[in-house]
A and B are shown apart, each in its own frame.
Chain A
């Protein structure tokens, strides 16, 4: 005698579909985040380069300022503008 099993409802295809969509969406999100991070990395890299260039420029300008203010240069320029060190007695310090 053959035993018959009762017919069951076909499995739902919605859950796998949702799961697949979720996986794809998650993967896409991760990809986007990675892409964004990479883009930010490039931007950060260029900003750092710019900072570095500005720092280099700043160093050069400081050096140039120091050179222009050097005693040796000012002393050589002074006669051209009629300037000289004050003679003894020309500067009086008030006690």
Chain B
């Protein structure tokens, strides 16, 4: 072999081996990189040329039923800082400039930067221009991110319904919280390649997606009606000195909430978005309970519209307590009891019903349980189990004491009377639409249960009209021109949470009603919390009802329907077994409620006055009443001359009168022992005497009794009002409810 060739072969072999060695080393290195460091390195590489961006989803708008925006989101910019770095790299004067750009004081900025945190928000949700001005100052450790902020263009309109969304876009209250899942939308994490300068190159295979915007909510609220409700309620809260007020406007046939107003008397400009009085706060309904009681009693055939009960001339001693009426009434039928708002009559009906049936009836109307309205934190009110009701409590419940309801519960219950007896679930969100406009949620009217038959509902509808239109009605200020209103006033003492008793002079005044009575379109409840004594529901809540109703009817373009304004027994629908219903008669008999005779000629001569056999009532006075009043001077004040003589006859006392009109003073005073001489009565004319009620009622007290007010004097209270100058009783120990 040629030596040179041999030498060449050796060199080639060495080179081959060297190359092979390098190759093996490279392969080993590759294996190490792939097998051991592969994931870390690929991650590093990905981070080097890809970036991610979280696109926040815009929160869906909330609109009223006519498309008026109540909540909108818009993009803003939030400025942050890496505080320690900023403090190290900037001078005090530079930070002053930054503070000015952010519209904050230098001290405020310094306080934020001195927080022991590497990252601090300097300002959230700034207008883009302002944020840009701050960023343009060129601080390396100051940055900004775009965020959506929630705006409420209607200011505080329907604030408690719409609710509040937090700084980070989460629902905190109201509809914002209840429907947060669909309103907030779906944010998206976007990944993309970028170039050396960080500019995104959007041809990346990493996928491009847009954030899914939140759904648009359409409320049942009508912002015009809502606005009217809030304005009129605000005015009345300010006038009456109430601590707060609430108003509910419902469509009785669908349960749609057209307005739900909450007014804070302390500062009416700042409605509380976090608290909804109308659905969360319970109050004692007072006499508004009588409408529901009447419906339950009619349904259970405990009473009929024609049956009369003796209302004890305004004062009834029962179970160791004394129940008072604001005016003195003798025999009253159900319509009369509701019209003049007799507590005694209501108590007797409640006793006739019994705890179980009354409780069941209240449950059927939805009291003591949540209505299911689509708002968070709804209260259930307070309705104790009937097994725990003492007899006096049962009587109290009849006129709305000892039970508590939320405004939405009470409005829903009256909506059932208005719509023919069906309890509808109230709701505030009508529908929701996604960003493409497709409907993703729809609420239809939902009937929860039937509370009473249509016949009973119609009867109550007729009876409640007289509260507003009857001569003795307590709710005459709720009248609406050209429309017939049916409703009920309520005035109840506030519970003192410290003592568990009642405040003597702090009241809750309310009015609930519906109209047009013949074809109800609206149920409206107005509640004024913590008003002073004398601020009756008929005086303070009823006018607000009238104003809201007028505005709402105009808004809904409801044409007036002329109907009979008054209550007419003959116009009531036939009610089978009305006078001979065994359960009703038995209950009344047991309670000894309808055995008493009237104390005046009208009542005793009334053919409509029935005893437990369906016959005209006898002339015997109830033993309890006689025992209680024997030997004592009866109350004459407020009576007409005729009424005064009737009382004198009934008690076997002599009277001497002077003047005409109504008794304004008497000597000796009521409640003192009867002496040997005649009782001196002084009468005076009144200026606002309204027509008398029909036979069967006590003939007196036909004025605007709801205008009475007064302070206690001995065991009775006497007060005079501007128009009628009529005295009135209030309870010495029972609570006055009207």
User: Taking beta carbons and an 8 Å cutoff, which residues of A are in contact with B?
Assistant: 37-38, 40-42, 44-45, 48, 55-56, 59-60, 62-63, 66-67, 69-72, 75, 85-86, 88-89, 91, 93-95
Contacts and interface: CB of A to CB of B under 8 A. Distances in A.
A41 to B, nearest CB: 4
Interface in B542-591: 550-551, 553-554, 557-561
- The 8 tightest CB contacts between A and B, nearest first, are A66-B153, A93-B559, A95-B559, A66-B69, A41-B203, A71-B227, A59-B74, A41-B201
Contact of B559 (A72, A75, A94): A94
Contacts of B175: none
A59 B73 contact: yes
A56 B75 contact: yes
B560 A45 contact: no
Contacts of A67: 153
B74 A63 contact: yes
Given A37-B203, A44-B202, A85 B154 contact: no
B196 interface: no
Contacts, number: 77
Contact of B154 (A40, A72, A94): A72
A45 B75 contact: no
B75 A69 contact: no
A82 B558 CA distance: 26
A70 B558 contact: no
Nearest to A61: B74
B627 interface: no
A71 B75 contact: no
B481 A69 contact: no
B408 interface: no
Contacts of A66: 68-69, 72, 153-154
Given A44-B202, A93-B554, 20 more contacts: A40-B203, A41-B204, A45-B202, A55-B75, A59-B58, A59-B73, A59-B74, A63-B69, A63-B74, A63-B153, A67-B153, A70-B154, A72-B154, A72-B227, A85-B551, A89-B482, A93-B553, A93-B557, A95-B559, A95-B561
B78 to A, nearest CB: 14
Nearest to A95: B559
Contacts of B557: 93
Given A71-B157, A91-B554, A38 B559 contact: no
B155 A70 contact: yes
Contact of A48 (B58, B202, B480, B559): B202
A79 B481 CA distance: 25
B446 interface: no
B72 A63 contact: yes
Contacts of B202: 41, 44-45, 48
Nearest to B127: A60
A12 B177 CA distance: 81
Contact of B201 (A38, A72, A86, A94): A38
A60 B153 contact: no
B74 A56 contact: yes
A56 to B, nearest CB: 4
B153 A71 contact: no
A70 B481 contact: no
B199 interface: yes
Given A38-B201, A45-B200, A63-B153, A69 B558 contact: no
Given A45-B200, A63-B74, A66-B153, A95 B554 contact: no
* Interface hub of B128, B199, B554, B558 (most chain A Cβ within 10 A): B554
6 contacts: A41-B201, A44-B202, A66-B154, A70-B157, A93-B557, A95-B559
A93 B203 CA distance: 63
Interface in B202-235: 202-204, 223-224, 227, 231
Decide if the interface of chain A is mainly helix, strand, loop or mixed: helix
Given A42-B201, A45-B199, A93 B560 contact: yes
For B154, B557, B559, B560, which residue has the most chain A Cβ atoms within 10 angstroms? B154
A56 B482 CA distance: 49
Interface in B132-186: 151, 153-155, 157
A38 B203 contact: yes
A88 B259 CA distance: 20
A58 to B, nearest CB: 9
A93 B199 contact: no
Contacts of B480: 88
B128 A56 contact: yes
B75 A70 contact: no
With a 10 A CB-CB cut-off, give which of B155, B203, B559 has the most chain A CB atoms. B203
B204 to A, nearest CB: 8
Contacts of B550: 88
B223 A71 contact: yes
B203 A88 contact: no
Contacts of A37: 203
Contacts of B154: 66, 70-72
A3 to B, nearest CB: 22
Contact of A95 (B128, B151, B560): B560
Contacts of A45: 199-202
Nearest to B193: A41
Contacts of A88: 480-481, 550
A53 to B, nearest CB: 9
Nearest to A68: B153
A59 B72 contact: yes
Nearest to B73: A59
A72 B159 CA distance: 13
Contacts of A95: 559-561
A34 B75 CA distance: 35
B538 to A, nearest CB: 19
Contact of B153 (A55, A56, A70): A70
Given A44-B202, A56-B128, A89 B481 contact: yes
Contacts of B203: 37-38, 40-41, 44
B202 to A, nearest CB: 5
A72 B269 CA distance: 11
B633 to A, nearest CB: 47
A69 B224 CA distance: 12
Contacts of A85: 551
Nearest to B223: A71
Nearest to A49: B200
Nearest to A69: B68
A52 to B, nearest CB: 8
A34 B606 CA distance: 104
Give the interface centre of B68, B202, B482, B550 by most chain A CB atoms within 10 Å: B202
B157 A60 contact: no
B224 A71 contact: yes
Nearest to B231: A75
B59 to A, nearest CB: 11
A56 B551 CA distance: 37
Contacts of B554: 86, 91, 93
Contact of A60 (B74, B201, B559): B74
B560 A42 contact: no
Interface string B298-332: 00000000000000000000000000000000000
A91 B202 CA distance: 61
